[in-house]
Every structure is written in structure tokens, then in C-alpha cells.
Amino acid sequence: MSTAGIIVIVVIAIVAFIILGFSIKVVRQSTAMVIERLGKFHRVLDTGIHMIVPFFDRRAGDVINLKEQVQDFKPQPVITKDNVTMQIDTVVYFQITDPKAYTYGVDRPLSAIENLTATTLRNIVGELELDGTLTSRDTINSKMRLVLDEATNPWGIKVNRVELKNILPPKDIQQAMEKQMRAERERRESILRAEGEKRSNILVAEGEKEAEILRAEAKRIAQIKEAEGMADAIKLIVDAHPDEAYLTLKGYEALAQVADGESTKLIVPTDIANVTGLLASLKEAITIPEPNKAKTTATNDKKIEK
């Protein structure tokens, strides 16, 4: 074979290899590729190896990522129902479900989602006041997700979640809110302190009450024991059959105890040895006011002399 023939074969092999390289398309996992034939949509290549017709078929746009994507959009100025302007930035979680619709449905899909998110956010927050906006994150997220999912469905995009990342009110509003929060914390602290003092006073009062009850009970038991002791002592004395001298001595002791008291009148039996009479007329006491105490003392002395 001549040299020219060898060169022709080599050139043909190289061209065939190049054509084969253009004909084979390898699609990676979680990606897709849209193929056009002569400028018209032909098919979508899924994961794997595919053959296309060189020079007739070509890829439309970039390789499409089918994984869930996260797009963080910059803060947007939003006006609430009570005319407070704040900055809110959002995070959108979406996934491409239809590569054909994504390729041909809208130009610059990410920019379209960003603008749609901003307008939807303004519409929803415009119906809420400042306090409602700060406390209704979940409600705003749900409403935005429904609106965005419905609007992006023709584009082959599925919006899974929408989150409000930051809500930034004006500085004067932030300062007013901080003062309000500080006042609320101080109010709660005062309430807790008052409740603690109230509980402490209740516990102290209950403790004093229980102590008084215990002291009264102890006193009652002591009196009972003392009475029982006296009864036992009297019984023992009676059982011992005391003589007249012993009874006389006890009569004198009882009379001495009565005289030491604050009594103003004493009745002394004529027969001091008669214990029965002594015990029957042991003491008669009548308490009188202080100014008359001197007179009653003199009378008492005279009666004793008799």
C-alpha cells in the first residue's frame, strides 16, 4: 500500500473517531440533557450512555442539575400594613422536575424565581402589621411556598420550601422593641419576686400555726399528765390512811400557798385540824382594781387576826 493510501486511512480513522466522540453522550447521575435536532426539541437524555447524530443533534443549554437546590436571595425592602419598612431576605429550596419545561419555559429561571419571590413577599407582608410579621414566619413561609410552587410549575420547577432568613426592622423600631422587651422582663421579674415573697410569708405563717398547735398539744398533754400524777398521788395517800398530824401539816401548807397569792379574802376554818372543812373552804378570791388594793389589804389583815 502506498504512502498516500496509508495517510487517507489514517485521516478517515481520525475523522471517524472524532465523529464517534461527538456521537456518544454520557449523562451523569442526578443530571439531564436536552437534545435538539436541527434546532427543534428532540429528546431528554437521562443518566447513562446515549448515541446522537453528529452535526444534526446538539445539546440545548447546559447540563441540567436535578438535585434539590438552595438559592439565597438578597434582602428586599418590604412595607407592612402599618407603614413600617423593613428588610427581609429569603431562602428558596427548589428542584427541577421537567428538564424540557425548564429549558423552554422561561428565560433565566433563577432571576425569574427571585423576582417572583420578592413580589410575593411584598404582597403577603403588606397585609400584616409589624408584630404579625415578626410572629408569623411559618404562615408567611407556607403562603409563599404555595404561590411560588404554583407559579413555577409551568417552568418545570418544584418549590419545596421557602424560609424567611432575616427580618430587619428600622433601627428606631429595634430600639423601641428592645425597650419593650426589657420592660416586660422587669415586669416578670417583679411578679416572680412578689410571688416568692408571698409564698415565703405563707410558709412562715403556716410554720407558726403548726408550732402553736404543737405547743398547745404539748401543754394539753402536760396538763393531763400532771393531773394524772396528782390523782395517783392522792390515791396513794388515801390508800396509805394518813394520820391526823399529816393532814394538819398539809392544811398549813395549803393555807400558806393561798396566803402567798393575790387573794383579797380568806376564810379560815375554826378547826384547822379538820381537813374536810379546810378543803371545803380553801379559798375565795375576788380580784378588785388597783386603787382599792390598799383598803382590801387592811381588811384582809383584820380578818386574819380574828
Question: CA-to-CA distance for 65 and 156, rounded, in angstroms?
Answer: 12
- The residue among 241, 267, 290 that closes a domain is 241
| Residue 91 exposed, middle or buried by CB count within 10 Å (0-12, 13-18, 19+) | middle
Give the separation between CA 280 and CA 249, rounded to whole angstroms: 16
| pLDDT the model gives residue 288 | 41
Same domain, 94 and 149: yes
Shared domain for 165 and 74, answered yes or no, is yes
In a domain, 31, yes or no: yes
Cβ 156 vs Cβ 97: under 8 Å: yes
Please state, in angstroms and rounded to a whole number, the distance separating the CA atoms of residues 236 and 147: 105
Residue 36, domain extent: 3-64
122 CB burial (10 A radius; 0-12, 13-18, 19+): middle
For residue 108, with 0-12 CB atoms within 10 Å meaning exposed, 13-18 middle and 19 or more buried, which class applies?
exposed
Alpha helix (H) residue ranges in the chain: 3-23, 99-105, 109-125, 130-135, 137-152, 171-240, 244-260, 275-280, 293-305
Whose grid coordinates read 390508800? 239
Residues 6+ apart with CB under 8 A from 305: none
CA dist 255 and 178 (Å) reads 85
Same domain, 202 and 153: no
**164 and 200 share one domain:** no
> Is residue 268 within 8 Å of 301, Cβ to Cβ?
no
End-of-domain residue from the set 24, 41, 64: 64
Instruction: Identify whether residues 131 and 100 lie together within a single domain.
Output: yes
**Are 116 and 132 in the same domain?**
yes
Tell whether 49 and 16 lie within a shared domain.
yes
The count of structural domains within the chain is 4
Segments in the chain below pLDDT 70: 1-2, 241-306
Indicate whether this model's pTM tops 0.85. no
- What confidence score (pLDDT) does residue 5 get? 74
Residue 177 resides in a domain: no
